[in-house]
Amino acid sequence: LDCFGCVYEIKTKALLIHYLYENARISNELEDCIIQSNYIEVQRRKHMIEKVIHPALYEILTTLESRITPEELMEYNNIVSEVIYNGN
């Protein structure tokens, strides 16, 4: 991740954005399932968020924090903020 535009940086950003959008998508589906009182689908989506998406996001972000400069980290924070703000 030391060079701007390297294949690892591009893959990391792509994975980060993918997981952020999946988190938003599944969270929206979760809300719909709650409204529809579909208990099985509520549990399924909670499980995907808690056991798959959040751990993946945590791993990406904590690894980045320890390996890149504060300026580069700010760029990743901007990506996260943009996806969260703009939603899906």
Interatomic CA distance for residues 59 and 3, integer angstroms: 20
Please give the structure tokens belonging to residue 17. 């954005």
Residues sharing a CB contact under 8 Å with residue 27, sequence separation 6 or more, in sequence order: 45, 49
- Per-residue pLDDT tens over the stretch 6-56: 767 788 889 999 999 999 999 999 999 999 999 999 999 999 999 999 999
pLDDT of residue 44: 97
Interatomic CA distance for residues 46 and 6, integer angstroms: 35
Taking Cα atoms as reference points, which of 83, 79, 76, 80 lies closest to residue 1?
76
Q: Are 83 and 22 in contact (CB under 8 A)?
A: no
pTM of this prediction exceeds 0.85 = no
